[in-house]
Chain A
Amino acid sequence: MPASRLPRIRLGRWSSAGLVVGATILIALFLAGLFLPLRFGPTDLNVDAISQPPDGTHWFGTDEVGQDLFARTVRAARTDLPLALGGTALASVLGIAGGLAVSSRSRWSERIMRGLDAFQSLPLLILTIALVVIADNSLIMVAVAIALVSGPFYIRIVRSQAIVLRESRFIEAAVASGAGTARVMWKHMLPNMRSLILAQTALTGAVALLVVAALSFIGVGVVPPTPSWGAMIRIGSGQLVTGQWWAVLFPGLALFACIISFNLVADGLRDRAGRKRSAGAR
């Protein structure tokens, strides 16, 4: 077939660029959230500057109680990003452990997967609202909510890859040579799933950020006065219909930039995993 002899179209450089750009934006926003010195405190109220449009003093304008939106947008990264990452970590542990545990072709793992189907048929995002409210807006419960919403997808991805790997020659060889299940998983399966796991983790990061933002938009999880993008957008949305665009635009942009960065990183990692796989197949 001539098609297979064609020089492969090199998307590699682009996806690597996406990887670098995405990671840079995320790290920059996170570092800015932690360390950027600010002229105004994120929770300082200023009755003389209420609902000000952006100007030289308040770069992103102020909200209805005179808080500086630049300070709040920047400092929100301090809460939202670690929260999303914490939830992602929890989802990853759940996804990797769960996915490997149900990667056999036994009846039990089939049953567990059917149970997972039923679980995912619940309106999870809505249900987690109740969880977070019960826990009195505990941030740990927000991380649990992220894990509950995104963990099942993670389990599925890990499981399907693990099933393929388990049936491959070298895992069969490892099992045949007497390696225990735990050892095979840890020493042979996990390293071979690294790219996939990294990509799925980045993708989960985007979902996690969406969950954090959706919850705080509804008014649970991170609640004012602690700055968070979702809650800022909700407060700003009240003024939007009178034309005060800035209270929504800037936190919205920050959120958008973070999510698209997570997605870029995930795409880049996935392309790399795909390239490695197709190179290995030759």
Chain B
Amino acid sequence: MKTSNRSPNGRILRLLVRRLPIIPISLLMIVLISFFLIALIPQSTATAIAGQGATAERVAEINRELGLNLPIWEQLLRYLGRLAHGDLGLSFYTQLPVWPDLVSHLPATLELVIPALVLAVVLGIAWGTLGGYFAGRFVDQGVRAVGSALQAMPEFLVGLLLIYVVFYTLGWAPAPTGRLGITSVTPPTVTGFYTVDALIAGDGATFSDAVVHLVLPVLTIALPLSAVLARITRATVGDAFGGAHTEYARALGLPERQVVRYALVDARTSILTFVAACIASMVGGAAIVEIIFNWQGVGQWAVTGMTNLDPPQIQGFVLFSGTVTLLVYIALDLLSMAIDPRISIGDS
């Protein structure tokens, strides 16, 4: 063996050693970006924040509160000092501490995004594999046509279409007014997931209410995402099906089920990479869907912060989503390394 010493575990360990020092550097970059985002905007921003017709005193007060009148290095030190204590400041509008406020919106987003991602991955891989297997034939063209139509629809159009058809016309889904109907009582908070909390409380009615309220927003996220994923799966799995090792697997007399599995295993790293990108984008990307369904998740919370120009909220969101993305990509690196012997550390 040329490289029998390269056991998967050893490679992952080496990658970790190489990547670990990068994590604090990247985190620092995210912190700096979140700082300069606010610090570098002109002083007139205070006017924008205060709104038109605000008194000069109010503008000066905002400048003082933001520290915009201080030298920039002092602003930075103050910001870092507060971060070190886990203090992201108070929202200008709600006067709530930003970090706990963000965390309180997190379960709603996760409860929406996790099933949506799972559904998108299952649908996308299934459609893409079907298209790749029947490359160039009717099934393939059908999958591609549906895919390009879905990709040309902004998320909010998909959501509104679903609301009109499934809620208004068919009456199969509840009104898009949040996570529960008005008659349901919010279950006692354990995890923050209404479905899980309702089960813990043994409240069957609330559980099913939470589930039916999930259906449309989950579909709204999952359908367009699955179209993109299907396209990527179609390309990579299609390549694998056309490749020499598929032909060889057939020449060995393996059943088609195994041949398909071989192609999927070959393509799984690229699929995984895309799924990671989806997870990373979900933090902010669910915002529009949350708005349509009044979901009160992190995305909707962030958009409110942006439109209000609420600096602590903006900073908090940038810090949070940047860190999540960073962690997702590091997890992706490790996972790809573990499942794909073709990847060597030098490549990255």
CB contact under 8 A between A220 and B307, given known A121-B325, A252-B160, A256-B152: yes
Tell me if B285 and A260 are in contact (CB < 8 A).
Answer: no
**CB closest chain-B residue, reference A218:** B303
Tell me if A237 and B306 are in contact (CB < 8 A).
Answer: no
The answer for the CA separation of A245 and B148 in the assembled complex, in Å, is 24
- Please tell me if A279 contacts chain B, counting CB pairs below 8 Å: no
Chain B window 29-56, contacts with chain A (Cβ cutoff 8 Å), 1 for yes, 0 for no: 1100100010001000100100000000
Give the size of the chain B interface in residues (CB under 8 angstroms). 48
**CB closest chain-B residue, reference A236:** B160
Which residues of B in the span 270-290 have a Cβ within 8 Å of any Cβ on A? Answer: 280-281, 283-285, 287-288
The one of B30, B48, B136, B153 that contacts A256, using a Cβ cutoff of 8 Å: B153
**CB closest chain-B residue, reference A217:** B156
Chain A window 126-150, contacts with chain B (Cβ cutoff 8 Å), 1 for yes, 0 for no: 1101100110100000000000000
For A234, list chain B residues within 8 Å (CB).
156
Tell me if B284 and A126 are in contact (CB < 8 A).
Answer: yes
Binds B, one of A53-61, A191-199, A206-214: A206-214
The answer for the CA separation of A218 and B287 in the assembled complex, in Å, is 10
For A263, list chain B residues within 8 Å (CB).
148, 151-152
Binds A, one of B68-76, B100-108, B206-214, B316-324: B316-324
CB contact under 8 A between A237 and B160, given known A126-B299, A134-B48: yes
For B285, list chain A residues within 8 Å (CB).
123, 125
- Please tell me if A281 contacts chain B, counting CB pairs below 8 Å: no
**CB closest chain-B residue, reference A123:** B284
Q: How far is the CB of B155 from chain A (nearest CB, A)?
A: 8
Give the size of the chain A interface in residues (CB under 8 angstroms). 40
Q: How far is the CB of A59 from chain B (nearest CB, A)?
A: 20
Binds A, one of B8-16, B162-170, B179-187: B162-170
A-B contact pairs, 18 of them (CB 8 A): A118-B26, A118-B322, A122-B30, A123-B321, A127-B314, A130-B37, A130-B309, A134-B48, A218-B288, A233-B157, A234-B156, A240-B160, A241-B168, A245-B164, A248-B160, A256-B153, A260-B149, A263-B148
Seen from chain B, the residues whose Cβ lies within 8 Å of a Cβ on chain A are 26, 29-30, 33, 37, 41, 45, 48, 136, 148-149, 151-154, 156-157, 160-161, 163-164, 167-168, 175-176, 280-281, 283-285, 287-288, 291-292, 299, 302-303, 306-307, 309, 314, 317-318, 321-322, 325-326, 329
Seen from chain A, the residues whose Cβ lies within 8 Å of a Cβ on chain B are 9, 115, 117-118, 121-123, 125-127, 129-130, 133-134, 136, 206, 210, 213-214, 217-220, 230, 233-234, 236-237, 240-243, 245, 248, 252, 255-256, 259-260, 263
